Structure 1
């Protein structure tokens, strides 16, 4: 068993195709298929079910895949650590980001990092805060930028607080609230809302605030993208509550201060068990020494 065989297995599992896997690995399909067949013979089990229409993992393949990924990650870290020992930063930097983070200009930071460390392969994943904590713990991400309600903290990872921000009401320019300087949750509770999906970190902070005030509200539109959320608000389909630092970059909507608005905390998080040289270099470039982990 060797690392190349593991790379082939991971590629097939991720593409569901021997042809696409071979293209990704820059080998002919017959060579890839032969190596996987050799591995299956050595293991004494088939890793993939092959039909004329699709390829999928067997139970044995599903059991093998996580360990194969861990071996490849460990090999990659070993190469990166050796490079770091002689003053070079290589390997990968996998970053997670929620779109509403405003404490750090992520595109500019990634550009500066790429210019300084061109040998590092950078990837970026946009998603939800609650997913990123688990992905950093599991090693799928090296660093993530997220926002959480003040009632929560990232657990099981290294973390540093970046900023605290209050939510503001976001309404269409022609909405009756657009001319108000400030409003409270009771008044907002009479409106139709556009918000993130239930139980996501971005939604929880608002839900908790209304519940604490003994108020209910009508969330008629649930979306996963904050920019699309703002577009729906701009069309007058509902109102929203978003961090004030984020809404400053939006157009076509009006913001109103909320006297009893909830707050949220922006964090940068990283693995506290196996921080890579690239992750350390990225955090250092941002001027963020990595203190003891939170949680």
Structure 2
């Protein structure tokens, strides 16, 4: 079994297409298909169910994929560590970003990293804090920005607090509450609410605040993107609670502080086990002094 075969299998699983996987791996489709079939013969089981229109991963393929990703990540780390021993930092840096990153200027930091170490390839991943912590613990991600409730510290990772943010209520300028200078949670109990999906870490601070106050609310719209949330607000469809730095200057919108409202803590997280050279270089740019494996 070869690492290249694993890379091909991971590409097919993620792309759900042999054609797209071949394009991604910069090989002709026939060569990729041949290697996948050879791998399946060696394993004695089918990794993919194929038809003329679609490709689906089998149960055996799902099990193989977990170990394959871990093996590829370990191989990448080994190559990067060997290169760094000679003074060159290269490899892949996988960075997770929650939808509302306001406490840190990541584009500037990545620009500095790229200028200092042009051989480093950067993969940006969007998603939620829980999946990022899991990915870091499993070796599939190097660094992530997390947004968590004050009562829920990061788990299974090393971390540094970047900021504590009190969320503000955002509404249209003609909303009945828009003339207030301060709101209570009770004021929002009857409002149409826009929030992250139930169970998402981005929603947890608001759910916890309302639960602690003994106030029930109905979430009318569940959305992952802050930009979409604000678009819904502009159309008069509800009120959203967001970090103030996320809200652009806009005459159509009003932001109002909320007494005893939700708050979140923004963390920078990295592996508690091994910090690859590229990740260590980024953490040094971000002035994290103790990010050493």
Q: Residues 252-271 of structure 1 correspond to what in structure 2 (within 5 A)? A: 252-271=252-271
- Give yes or no for contact 2:181–2:257 (8 Å, CA) kept in 1: yes
Kindly state the Cα deviation for residue 227 of structure 1 after the two structures are TM-superposed: 1.3
State TM-score, norm by structure 1: 0.92
**Partner residue, 1:24:** 24
Aligned to 1:111: 111
Residues 1:196 and 2:196 are matched in the alignment: yes
Deviation at 1:292, TM superposition (A): 9.2
Instruction: Give the superposition deviation at 1:176.
Output: 2.4
State the match for 2:133 in structure 1: 133
Aligned residue in 1 for 2:243: 243
Distance in 1 (CA, whole Å) between partners of 2:292 and 2:109 is 23
Q: Does 1:50 align with 2:35?
A: no
- Does structure 1 residue 224 correspond to structure 2 residue 224? yes
Q: Which runs of 5+ in 1 are unaligned?
A: none
Unaligned segments of structure 2, at least 5 residues: none
> 2:84 is paired with a residue of what secondary structure?
helix
Structure 1 CA distance, aligned partners of 2:256 and 2:197? Answer: 23
Q: Are residues 1:288 and 2:266 paired?
A: no
State the match for 2:209 in structure 1.
209
**In the TM superposition, what are the counterparts of 1:133-212 in structure 2 within 5 Å?**
133-212=133-212
> Which secondary structure state, in structure 1, belongs to the residue aligned with residue 36 of structure 2?
helix
Residue of structure 2 in register with 1:60 after alignment: 60
Farther off after superposition, 158-167 or 178-187:
178-187
On the 8 A contact 1:100/1:226 being kept in 2, the answer is yes
SS in 1 for 2:122: strand
Q: Does the 8 A contact of 2:280 with 2:292 survive in 1?
A: no
Distance 1:218 1:10, change over 3 A: closer
| Root mean square deviation, CA, Å | 1.9
Shift in Å, 1:49? 2.7
Please tell me whether the aligned partners of residues 146 and 268 of structure 1 are also in contact (alpha carbons under 8 angstroms).
Answer: yes
Q: Cα–Cα, structure 1 residues 155 and 292, in superposed 2: closer, same or farther, change >3 Å?
A: farther
Cα displacement string for residues 157-215 of structure 1 (whole angstroms, at most 9, x for unaligned residues):
11111111111111111122222111111222232211111122221211111121121
Tell me the number of residue pairs that the alignment of Structure 1 and Structure 2 aligns. 292
